[in-house]
Copies of this chain bind each other. A is one copy, B any other.
Amino acid sequence: MHNHPHTTPLRIAIAGLGNVGASLVNLLASAQSRGLNARSSRPIELVAVCARNKNKDRGITLSSSMLWCDDAVKIANAPNVDVFVELIGGSEGVARTAVEAALNAGKHVVTANKALLAAHGNALAALAEQKGVSLNFEASVAGGIPIVKTLRESLCGNSPTRVMGILNGTCNYILTRMEAQSEPFDVCLKAAQELGYAEADPTFDIDGFDTAHKLSILTSLAFGTQIHSEIQTLEGIRSITYEDIAATRDLGYRIKLLGIAQRIGNTISQSVQPTLLPHNAAIADVGGATNAVLIDADFMPSLLLVGAGAGGNPTASAVAADIIDIARGLHILPFGQSVAHMPVVLPAQADAISHRYYVRFAVQDKPGAFATIATHMAQQNISLESIVQHGQSSSSGIAQVILVTHKTTAPALHKALDAISNAHILATKPQSMCIESL
């Protein structure tokens, strides 16, 4: 039996003592006072840590008997370590080398590293399987939300059809603030940086790469396909203006940066882009730095999980769950099945999906502009649900024209927008976002 109490402790090494690592040290150290020891079946003992600077004040207390070193590969190989916890980050370099070393040495690995999994998840899962050890990564997607376990275990009697998520707290904070404070993008980005939600170089978050990494992991878990990190549509939130926020709100929608994966026949579509959601949907109400994942599956039509997607404590909560699974003997293959049985992704054709679209044009106020727009849309067989002229500035001679289309495909829309752009009636590049049905 696996979860009869063992007396042998499970020995943990943590590589990386940033926010998450420090929270995890505190979580493990306080387990007894918080009454949690009986749940883990056997004692969990922190035996080694690895970070660059030993003397930095992290608000944690480490026992003097603990191995401290600055070489992650060394503690990944240390003979007294059962579980190697990788909190270093990055898809290459020491994080990858150390995780591979730990798996090769027959040690369980727990990681929060979405970039590593997006790039090398298939190979690492195969290695873990070959060595008969766990490779757990709950914390890699949506922080403290148990989305990995939900897809890998709780929904595994289902064939999911769509997974969508608000997976980047920085972007969601910026979009929420743009709406709440009526502030432009740049001001909100700066505020996010001052609050520590955004990095000095925000590219990774706001251009959608972080969401794409996380989405590729969710896609594998949901559809049983190998990780395929080349997301077909990848767009961030830089181009969103306050005009977009206001116009979409007036139409009854809210803009969210969504990662969406869906099955279309035997193909899979993965996209990351700003998307309009109906204002009254629960997922559209998820504000600030909070994350959310919505899963549609054949027997469970709509399951929504909402919670903290980042931060030291919530992420440590997910890492701890992965460790306690190992302590309890709950060993499962990294993606719930053998990598050898998981097909590679056949990416869906760009025109396989239809959406209604929101389009905003900044139109130079000349006669015939509406007619030009309508004509080029009609040439691509795009019919219009509504067309509104928004707040014309007479001084600039520029009018904001807002369209909502009936269902069409991205290629058809982009052909129409290119033709309209070439007609020299627009002051700026047209803005367009798809409207997702729930």
How many positions in chain A have a CB within 8 Å of any CB in the partner chain?
67
A10 to chain B: closest CB distance in Å?
A: 13
Known contacts A23-B299, A144-B299, A313-B299; is-contact A153 B325 (Cβ 8 Å): yes
* B residues less than 8 Å from A138 (CB atoms): 154
Q: How far is A27 from B323 in the complex, measured between Cα atoms in Å? A: 32
Besides A299-B314, A328-B332, 18 new A-B residue pairs in contact (Cβ under 8 A), listed by A number: A3-B331, A34-B298, A38-B338, A146-B155, A149-B154, A153-B324, A156-B320, A156-B321, A158-B317, A282-B282, A282-B286, A285-B285, A300-B314, A300-B317, A303-B305, A304-B306, A305-B306, A330-B332
Contact check, B317 vs A144: say whether CB atoms are below 8 A apart.
Answer: no
Contact check, A324 vs B156: say whether CB atoms are below 8 A apart.
Answer: yes
Q: How far is A296 from B157 in the complex, measured between Cα atoms in Å? A: 28
From B39, B280, B303, B331, A144 is in contact (CB under 8 Å) with B303
* B residues less than 8 Å from A321 (CB atoms): 153-157
Q: How far is A94 from B155 in the complex, measured between Cα atoms in Å? A: 30
Interface residues of A in 305-350 (CB under 8 A from B): 305-308, 313-314, 316-321, 323-325, 328-333, 336-338, 341-342
* B residues less than 8 Å from A297 (CB atoms): 317
Contact check, B31 vs A157: say whether CB atoms are below 8 A apart.
Answer: yes
A145 at the binding interface (Cβ < 8 Å)? yes
Q: How far is A302 from B168 in the complex, measured between Cα atoms in Å? A: 17
Q: How far is A320 from B313 in the complex, measured between Cα atoms in Å? A: 32
Contact check, A149 vs B159: say whether CB atoms are below 8 A apart.
Answer: no
A301 at the binding interface (Cβ < 8 Å)? yes
Interchain residue pairs with CB less than 8 A apart (10): A5-B338, A38-B337, A39-B156, A144-B303, A150-B150, A157-B319, A299-B320, A303-B308, A305-B305, A306-B306
Of the listed residues A31, A285, A299, the one surrounded by the most CB atoms of chain B closer than 10 A to its CB is A299
Contact check, A329 vs B331: say whether CB atoms are below 8 A apart.
Answer: yes
Residue-wise interface mask of A (191-218) relative to B, using a CB-CB cutoff of 8 A (1 in contact, 0 not): 0000000000000000000000000000
A66 at the binding interface (Cβ < 8 Å)? no
Residue-wise interface mask of A (30-41) relative to B, using a CB-CB cutoff of 8 A (1 in contact, 0 not): 010011101111
Known contacts A39-B336, A329-B331; is-contact A154 B300 (Cβ 8 Å): no
Q: How far is A145 from B301 in the complex, measured between Cα atoms in Å? A: 11
Q: How far is A341 from B37 in the complex, measured between Cα atoms in Å? A: 10
From B1, B144, B149, A149 is in contact (CB under 8 Å) with B149
Contact check, A303 vs B307: say whether CB atoms are below 8 A apart.
Answer: yes
Contact check, B146 vs A154: say whether CB atoms are below 8 A apart.
Answer: yes
* B residues less than 8 Å from A144 (CB atoms): 299-300, 303
Residue-wise interface mask of A (364-402) relative to B, using a CB-CB cutoff of 8 A (1 in contact, 0 not): 000000000000000000000000000000000000000
Contact check, A36 vs B302: say whether CB atoms are below 8 A apart.
Answer: no
A56 at the binding interface (Cβ < 8 Å)? no
